[in-house]
Amino acid sequence: MPTNATLKLDNVEYSLPIMVGTEGEKAVDIRNLRNDSGYVTYDEGYGNTGSCQSAVTFIDGEAGILRYRGYPIEQLAEHSSFIETAYLIVNGELPLPAQRKRFSQLLTENSPIHSGMEHLFEGFPSDAHPMAILSAMLNSLGSYYPHLATNDHQRDLETYEATSAVIISKVRTIAAYSYRASRGLPYIHPRRDLPYCENFLHMMFSTPYEPYIALPEVAQALNLFLLLHADHEQNCSTSTVRMVASSGANLFASAAAGVCALWGPLHGGANMAVIEMLKSIHAEGDDGTKFIEQAKLGKADKRLMGFGHRVYKHYDPRAKIIKESFYSALASLGIKDDPLLNIAMRLEEAALRDEYFLARKLYPNVDFYSGLIMRAIGIPENMFTVMFAIGRMPGWIANWKEVAANRKGRIYRPRQIYTGHNLRDYVPPHKRTA
Ligand code: CMC
């Protein structure tokens, strides 16, 4: 394999080093290109740009491969749990029994939130979106732990174990409290005896006079949902976390920024958008046929939500796993004839046969099924993206660490191709024309 690429610009040849990742991914290193030639590269949307070196997650979108720290997602989904996988992602290795126990203890100890924070929820209007609350609360959380949020990367790295446990544990409490606040319901405190997912469902759905006991299938479906979302390489929110981290910002602030990036319908908001799409198809009396025709016109507001992916040009491996567990969760919940589910299945079938979707390699992604699963287990729609954020937290944390620990790292600062006005003189107000 060549070690250098040659680029010819204005009749000058530049030798650019070639980099190869551990899975054979090849890249041309252009770090000195602007200094040497005056040129920058242009890659809107970064589809051809490696923004960093990372050892967390490997994706081969063409082959439908996803691995966390080298372990195939299929094996983790079958044998691991969200918490064990979170440990793996955050710390790089599967935990030894004592490490696993300590991690659980840290999560349990950290599950309650400061009573001062409970009052913060009251300041939000009752119809505030839980994603807005979550990002604000995560950022505020750092102010309750100033020694973990110093904005000095070396100091923040020394407390990484504690900070990651605080965030992974409390994000679920904050999420459940934001739901309770939005419904005007009293907060239900976490319990020491419940595992992660069961504890979350308890904080969401118990009442002061009746505990909610999660069906094992429901807790398992949630566990799998979170595990499948735990990391996904350099997507929009993870890149945002890294961007914020590169300025020296602490983990709380960086994760809060990740929540904001995740909110949009093209990213984490897609699971909610899928259900909204299915509902509007149902309300219009369509069986999905009309909608598919509109989606093929290429209008952004008529996209088939839950279809397509920037990196997967084959089936999303997460979608395959979640689809299988989806049917068993539905069976154990006794859900058979749901009109939205029927529309979803028809859409899936039709799109998988349609030339438009085949030619563009648009297959169902994880969000096509995850919204339906969330709905089946009783999570309200506006919480779907919050659930994604709880799942993605380990990935954001691990990516923050890579940035913080890189002593040679530079602040992320892309260039642009300026297309605005050339130099012109200031016009006083009385001389301006429309
Ligand atoms: N429905 C209809 N047409 C589509 C869709 C869709 N869902 N997605 C892409 N296309 C078309 C698009 O119009 C374009 O057609 P043409 O070549 O004729 O102009 C072509 O496919 C390529 O699309 P693109 O916008 O260049 O693809 P992208 O890589 O920029 O976007 C995407 C990826 C996921 C944002 C997009 O497929 C999409 O909007 N999907 C629906 C939203 C969704 O489900 N998002 C969740 C992604 S999975 C969760 C996560 O990992 O964040």
With pLDDT > 90 as the criterion, what percentage of the chain qualifies?
Answer: 73
For residue 274, give the ligand 1 atom closest to its CA.
Answer: 44
pLDDT digit string, tens, across residues 132-181: 999 999 999 999 999 999 999 999 999 999 999 999 999 999 999 999 98
How far apart CA 330 and CA 217 sit, in angstroms, is 9
For residue 237, give the ligand 1 atom closest to its CA.
Answer: 52
Ramachandran angles phi, psi of 6, nearest 5°:
-115, 130
pLDDT digit string, tens, across residues 80-99: 999 999 999 999 999 999 99
pLDDT digit string, tens, across residues 7-31: 999 999 999 999 999 999 999 999 9
- Is ligand 1 within 6 A of the CB of residue 370? no
Residue with tokens 């398992």: 220
* CATH domain 270-376 topology: Cytochrome p450-Terp; domain 2 (1.10.230)
The answer to whether the 73-263+381-405 and 270-376 domains have the same CATH topology is no
- For the entire predicted model, the pTM comes to 0.92
Decide which of 2.60.40, 1.10.150, 1.10.1060, 2.20.28 is the CATH code for 4-65.
Answer: 2.20.28
pLDDT recorded at residue 401: 98
Residue 204 has pLDDT above 90, yes or no: yes
pLDDT recorded at residue 384: 93
For residue 45, give the ligand 1 atom closest to its CA.
Answer: 30
- Is ligand 1 within 6 A of the CB of residue 309? yes
193 is catalytic: no
pLDDT digit string, tens, across residues 37-67: 999 999 999 999 999 999 999 999 989 999 9
pLDDT recorded at residue 173: 97
Residue 345 has pLDDT above 90, yes or no: no
- Average pLDDT over the chain reads 93
pLDDT recorded at residue 332: 78
For residue 298, give the ligand 1 atom closest to its CA.
Answer: 13
- Give nearest CA residue, ligand 1 atom 48: 365
pLDDT digit string, tens, across residues 290-315: 888 888 887 777 789 999 888 888 88
309 is catalytic: yes
- Is ligand 1 within 6 A of the CB of residue 66? no
pLDDT recorded at residue 387: 96
Q: Please, which pLDDT band fits residue 323 given cuts at 50, 70 and 90?
A: confident
Q: Which CATH architecture group holds 73-263+381-405?
A: Orthogonal Bundle (1.10)
How far apart CA 60 and CA 73 sit, in angstroms, is 12
Catalytic residue among 29, 309, 316, 430: 309
Distances (CA, A) of 178 to 109, 127, 186, 198, 243: 20, 10, 11, 17, 27
Catalytic residue among 156, 231, 316, 367: 367
Cα of 361 vs centre of ligand 1, distance in Å, is 10
Q: Please, which pLDDT band fits residue 418 given cuts at 50, 70 and 90?
A: very high
How far apart CA 74 and CA 180 sit, in angstroms, is 34
For residues 266 and 156, which has the higher predicted lDDT (pLDDT)? 156
pLDDT digit string, tens, across residues 354-381: 999 999 988 889 888 888 889 888 899 9
Cα of 422 vs centre of ligand 1, distance in Å, is 35
- Is ligand 1 within 6 A of the CB of residue 229? no
pLDDT recorded at residue 313: 84
In the predicted model, what is the mean pLDDT of residues 338-343? 85
pLDDT recorded at residue 253: 98
For residues 286 and 188, which has the higher predicted lDDT (pLDDT)? 188
Residue with tokens 């030619």: 359
Q: How is the chain split into domains, by residue range?
A: 4-65, 73-263+381-405, 270-376
Residue 107 has pLDDT above 90, yes or no: yes
SS (H, E, C) the chain: CCCEEEEEECCEEEEEEEEECCCCCEEECCCCHHHHHCCCCCCHHHCCCCCCCCCCEEEECCCCEEEECCEEHHHHHHHCCHHHHHHHHHHCCCCCHHHHHHHHHHHHHCCCCCHHHHHHHHCCCCCCCHHHHHHHHHHHHHHHCHHHCCCCHHHHHHCHHHHHHHHHHHHHHHHHHHHHHHCCCCCCCCCCCCCHHHHHHHHHHCECCECCCCCHHHHHHHHHHHHHCCCCCCCHHHHHHHHHHCCCCCHHHHHHHHHHHHCCCCCCCHHHHHHHHHHHHHHCCCCCHHHHHHHCCCCHHHCCCCECCCCCCCCCHHHHHHHHHHHHHHHHHCCCCCHHHHHHHHHHHHHHHCHHHHHCCCCECHHHHHHHHHHHCCCCHHHHHHHHHHHHHHHHHHHHHHHHHCCCCCCCCCCCCCCCCCCCCCCCHHHCCC
For residues 28 and 182, which has the higher predicted lDDT (pLDDT)? 28
